[in-house]
């Protein structure tokens, strides 16, 4: 499996080290990178900025990611407001509140729902000139300002190692679930220009890829 959330919380496996069943693979819930995204955002926004977090509360691991984000936000002087979205109606309601609440940016937790709606979220950010941030490069490719997180192409390619081991007789129950080791920082320069954000040179130099 390549899973976006916490496979233990989802009850897919007993633990990362000892899956204990018929599933193993990788979890893309890279909690240690949550703070990195907010650090980059803090270099773009004034201290004390209000940032909206948009996420599906039913996605396993989302509450843990929220707690990590709250701690990281305090460290960099950002104020977070949480908007749970499970469906299009809740997403539209979140947009209505965000547009009238003087938010300075939107952080979107990557999961199946927000990935499916990434173009809509990106369009909202463009309309209200709000920087949009998430964890997977597909969001930046769809118009988000930046993404910082696991390189999913490398991660999925790594799953071939599991296939090889299982075909040679290894049991999924005995193969630890791994976390990503390949990280990708992507900036969409077109979005930056469209919303009037001047990215610091220090941020641009850190990027693995800039979409022109």
pLDDT digits (tens, 9 = 90+) for 128-186: 999 999 999 999 999 999 999 999 999 999 999 999 999 999 999 999 999 988 999 99
Q: Yes or no: say if 138 and 122 are a contact pair by the CB < 8 Å rule.
A: no
pLDDT at 4: 87
Asked whether residue 174 is domain-assigned, the answer is no
Does residue 170 sit in helix, strand or coil?
A: coil
Asked whether residue 77 is domain-assigned, the answer is yes
Asked whether residue 170 is domain-assigned, the answer is no
Q: How far is 58 from 163, CA to CA, in rounded Å?
A: 30
Asked whether residue 160 is domain-assigned, the answer is no
Q: How far is 153 from 170, CA to CA, in rounded Å?
A: 24
The DSSP output letter for 60 is T
Asked whether residue 104 is domain-assigned, the answer is yes
Asked whether residue 113 is domain-assigned, the answer is yes
Does residue 120 sit in helix, strand or coil?
A: helix
Range of the domain at 72: 2-153+179-211
Task: Tell me the average pLDDT across 28-45.
Answer: 90
Asked whether residue 119 is domain-assigned, the answer is yes
Does residue 168 sit in helix, strand or coil?
A: coil
Which has the higher per-residue pLDDT, 37 or 29?
37
| pLDDT single digits (tens) 113-125 | 999 999 999 999 9
Q: How far is 144 from 125, CA to CA, in rounded Å?
A: 8
Does residue 80 have a pLDDT over 90?
A: yes
pLDDT at 29: 85
Kindly list the strands in the beta sheet with 183-188, ordered across the sheet, starting from the edge strand earlier in the chain.
79-84, 50-55, 105-108, 132-134, 146-150, 183-188, 209-211
Arithmetic mean of pLDDT over the chain = 94
Q: How far is 33 from 153, CA to CA, in rounded Å?
A: 17
Asked whether residue 188 is domain-assigned, the answer is yes
Q: How far is 106 from 35, CA to CA, in rounded Å?
A: 15
**Domain harbouring 8, CATH code:** 3.40.50.2300
Does residue 22 have a pLDDT over 90?
A: yes
pLDDT at 30: 80
Phi/psi at 149 (nearest 5 deg)? 175, -165
Number of domains in the chain: 1
**What is the separation, in whole angstroms, between the first and last Cα of the chain?**
33
């Amino acid at each position: 499996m390549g899973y976006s959330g916490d496979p233990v919380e989802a009850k897919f496996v007993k633990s990362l080290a000892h899956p204990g069943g018929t599933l193993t693979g990788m979890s893309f819930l890279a909690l240690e990178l949550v703070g990195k995204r907010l650090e980059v955002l803090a270099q773009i926004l004034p201290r004390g900025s209000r940032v909206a977090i948009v996420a599906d509360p039913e996605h396993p691991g989302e509450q843990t990611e929220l707690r990590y984000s709250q701690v990281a936000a305090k460290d960099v002087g950002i104020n977070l407001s949480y908007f749970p979205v499970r469906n299009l109606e809740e997403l539209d309601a979140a947009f209505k509140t965000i547009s009238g609440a003087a938010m300075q940016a939107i952080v979107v937790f990557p999961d199946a729902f927000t990935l499916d709606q990434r173009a809509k979220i990106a369009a909202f950010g463009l309309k209200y000139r709000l920087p949009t941030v998430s964890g997977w490069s597909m969001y930046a490719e769809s118009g988000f300002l930046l993404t910082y997180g696991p390189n999913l192409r490398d991660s999925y390619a790594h799953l071939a190692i599991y296939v090889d081991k299982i075909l040679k007789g290894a049991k999924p129950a005995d193969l630890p679930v791994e976390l990503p080791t390949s990280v990708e920082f992507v900036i969409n320069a077109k979005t930056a220009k469209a919303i009037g954000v001047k990215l610091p040179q220090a941020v641009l130099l850190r990027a693995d890829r800039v979409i022109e």
